[in-house]
A and B are shown apart, each in its own frame.
Chain A
Amino acid sequence: MIHLFEAFKIALGMIVTGDQVVFSIAFRTLLIASASTIAATLLFVPLGCMVHFSNFKGKRIAVGFIQTMYSVPTVFVGMLVFLMVSRSGPFGVMGLLFSPWAIILGEIVLIAPIITGLTISALRNTGKGLEDTATSLGAGRGTMILKVLAEAKYAMLTSVLMGFGRAVSEVGVAIMVGGNISGYTRTLSTAIALGVGKGETAFSIALGLILLSLAMVVSIAVNIMQHGYRGRK
């Protein structure tokens, strides 16, 4: 108990004094998670919009599939991306394995269903009534879509934040395709996993507190967004 208390004190000291190793890992984690979230947002928010606003055969099945993929195990995604970017894989020649790019790629794959699915849900939750109202007031299809997007913006932002939350805290992909290389591909979650194994308790707690803070910031932001969304009704 005393050991844990001491470790906690040292961890807080590391954070307060701005320990270079701790903060470089935190910064790298933020950078990788942000890059993957931005890329996934640019790719999959429009995909979610397209799925919502278009009618095609099998739409319900496609949406159901996307939603089941929310809980895809990170190690499975890690394995998939590993096979893709390993020397013998289709993207092997690009030499991405054990680089931050591989982690970014893995995290994009991981959060793609979350961002796509939650974007579809956000738009669907605005209801058919909103589309009908805009159309009946004289909006063409383009104006109607813009209006629905404007009304659903907070809920859609929530989907992006949820994606970021998953990316920043995931460990399976980062270890498998990043390799946990110190100063290069080591992220908060992989460093904690390694630190605990090596008995570096204070170091792991410091990283854990930062990761927890990040997760809490995301969670608070999601709550604020959802409150704003509900406030419309």
Chain B
Amino acid sequence: MILQLKDIQLTREKNRILNGVSLDIAEGCFFVLMGPTGCGKTTLLRLAGLLERPDSGDILFNGSVVPRRGSELLKTRRRVATMFQSPVMFRGTVFSNIAWGLKIRRIPQSEMVNRVEQILELAGLSGFGERDASTLSGGEMRRTALARALVLEPDLLILDEPTTSLDPAFKRDLLTRIKEIHAETGTTFLMATHDFTDALAVGTRGAVMRGGLIEQTGSMDEILFKPENHFMASFTGMRNIFPAEFSGSEARVGELDVAHSGKGDKTGHGFLAIPPEAVVLSLSTRVTSERNRFTGTVSSIERHGTNWDVVVAVADLSLTVAITTGALDELSISSGSRIHISFKASAVRLF
């Protein structure tokens, strides 16, 4: 593990910011720290970047505990670089900004020029070297900040919300660039974001935080498809989340019995989610292998991106079903229409 945080606690001005956070980040991975604004992501990144010390707990870098002060701390800190959410440009050109970290490391001039030129190209900033850094656009400034950190060839590169307040086009461009750089350099990346789609675009592993605690950690697939609790399910964008009483391969959801293919040992109270994309609508009862078949009434139809959300009242539940424009035209349903719904037991997610 390149970085390990063990039972980190931090209080600032009587507010508990981190409440016993433990995290392992493997070398070479792209680790994404997710969570709503104010959950402690930035503070955790500051600790990972060795810019702050926790009140208690240990930070291990490459298996060794990072000292709290002294030349050893500086030595370790020089193997980590951080790109902040609002990058600050030093007075001067893009080149001088990128070269600054090398200059204080006393890298010879010729090597410095070579490394800066290379990184300018890698960051998509060729020809920007002599530009006054204060004249850069938001996207260019982020790329300069990224290049300024990358040129140091850190073992761990930390990115704090790198795409915040960027236009969608710039955002896509920067994320693609970051992904390419990760693939090319093999550097370990630790990125914080509150945007789950950003995380999915670049991450290989991740953790979700809430209120100074880690809610779940794992591969991006595990986080996306196997939420461990209600918060995680909502955070990953799951809809149709209902409280349920589990018993064997069935769950009582309101007045409905829903079949699921979860483990038989799941009993008692919990939650289940029915992905809107997994539900099939039909005007008549179909012969199907799907074990969950109900009849309901359309409550509303709303556009959701390029698709449509059809909300169906089934017994005492409101179930959202995602369908395409073509399917909506074919069904020609409207509010009040009677409709049959079905979904597979294997589509039901339990937590």
Q: Give the interface of A toward B (CB within 8 A).
A: 127, 129-130, 132-133, 135-140, 143, 147, 150-151, 231-233
B residues near A129, Cβ cutoff 8 Å: 84, 86-88
A residues near B91, Cβ cutoff 8 Å: 150-151, 232
Distance (Å) between the CB of A108 and the closest chain B CB?
A: 31
B residues 70-117 in Cβ contact with A at 8 Å: 74, 77-78, 80-82, 84, 86-91, 100-101, 104-105
Given contact pairs A136-B81, A138-B81, A140-B74, enumerate 15 new A-B contacts (beta carbons under 8 Å): A127-B88, A129-B84, A129-B88, A130-B88, A133-B87, A136-B77, A136-B80, A136-B82, A136-B149, A136-B158, A137-B152, A138-B77, A138-B78, A138-B104, A139-B104
B residues near A133, Cβ cutoff 8 Å: 84, 87-88, 90
Contact of A137 among B46, B101, B134 (CB under 8 A): B101
B residues 48-88 in Cβ contact with A at 8 Å: 49, 51, 74, 77-78, 80-82, 84, 86-88
B142 within 8 A of A: no
Q: Are A132's CB and B90's CB within 8 A?
A: no
Q: Are A138's CB and B105's CB within 8 A?
A: yes
A140 to B104, CA, bound (A): 9
Distance (Å) between the CB of A26 and the closest chain B CB?
A: 36
Pairs across A and B, CB under 8 Å, 12 listed: A129-B86, A129-B87, A132-B51, A133-B88, A136-B49, A136-B82, A136-B84, A136-B149, A137-B104, A137-B149, A138-B101, A138-B152
A129 to B88, CA, bound (A): 6
Greatest chain A CB density within 10 A among B80, B88, B90, B104 is at B88
Number of interface residues of B (CB under 8 A): 25
Q: Which 9 A-B pairs have the closest CB atoms?
A: A137-B101, A136-B82, A129-B88, A138-B78, A232-B91, A133-B88, A130-B88, A140-B74, A138-B101
B residues near A138, Cβ cutoff 8 Å: 74, 77-78, 81, 101, 104-105, 152
Contact of A132 among B80, B84, B89 (CB under 8 A): B84
Distance (Å) between the CB of B137 and the closest chain A CB?
A: 14
B residues near A233, Cβ cutoff 8 Å: 134
A105 to B49, CA, bound (A): 48
A139 to B158, CA, bound (A): 17
B148 within 8 A of A: yes
Greatest chain A CB density within 10 A among B74, B149, B158 is at B74
Distance (Å) between the CB of B192 and the closest chain A CB?
A: 14
Distance (Å) between the CB of A227 and the closest chain B CB?
A: 12
A130 to B145, CA, bound (A): 12
A56 to B152, CA, bound (A): 34
Distance (Å) between the CB of B338 and the closest chain A CB?
A: 60
A127 to B78, CA, bound (A): 22
A residues near B80, Cβ cutoff 8 Å: 136
- Chain B residue nearest to A129 in the complex (CB): B88
A residues near B158, Cβ cutoff 8 Å: 136
A139 to B103, CA, bound (A): 10
Distance (Å) between the CB of B171 and the closest chain A CB?
A: 21
- Chain A residue nearest to B132 in the complex (CB): A231
B residues 227-281 in Cβ contact with A at 8 Å: none
Distance (Å) between the CB of B98 and the closest chain A CB?
A: 10
B residues near A147, Cβ cutoff 8 Å: 90, 100
A residues near B134, Cβ cutoff 8 Å: 231-233
B residues near A127, Cβ cutoff 8 Å: 88
- Chain B residue nearest to A128 in the complex (CB): B88
A138 to B152, CA, bound (A): 9
Distance (Å) between the CB of B153 and the closest chain A CB?
A: 11
B residues 122-145 in Cβ contact with A at 8 Å: 134
B residues near A130, Cβ cutoff 8 Å: 88, 90
Distance (Å) between the CB of A27 and the closest chain B CB?
A: 36
A residues near B46, Cβ cutoff 8 Å: 132
- Chain B residue nearest to A133 in the complex (CB): B88
A214 to B104, CA, bound (A): 41
- Given the known inter-chain contacts A127-B88, A129-B86, A151-B91, please indicate yes or no for A136 contacting B51, CB distance below 8 A: yes
Greatest chain B CB density within 10 A among A135, A138, A231 is at A138
A residues near B82, Cβ cutoff 8 Å: 132, 136
Q: Are B88's CB and A135's CB within 8 A?
A: no
A residues near B152, Cβ cutoff 8 Å: 137-138
A136 to B152, CA, bound (A): 11
B residues near A136, Cβ cutoff 8 Å: 49, 51, 77, 80-82, 84, 149, 158
- Chain B residue nearest to A138 in the complex (CB): B78
A5 to B105, CA, bound (A): 67
Q: Are B100's CB and A137's CB within 8 A?
A: yes
- Chain A residue nearest to B77 in the complex (CB): A138
Greatest chain B CB density within 10 A among A132, A136, A151 is at A136
A129 to B46, CA, bound (A): 12
A136 to B158, CA, bound (A): 10
A139 to B78, CA, bound (A): 8
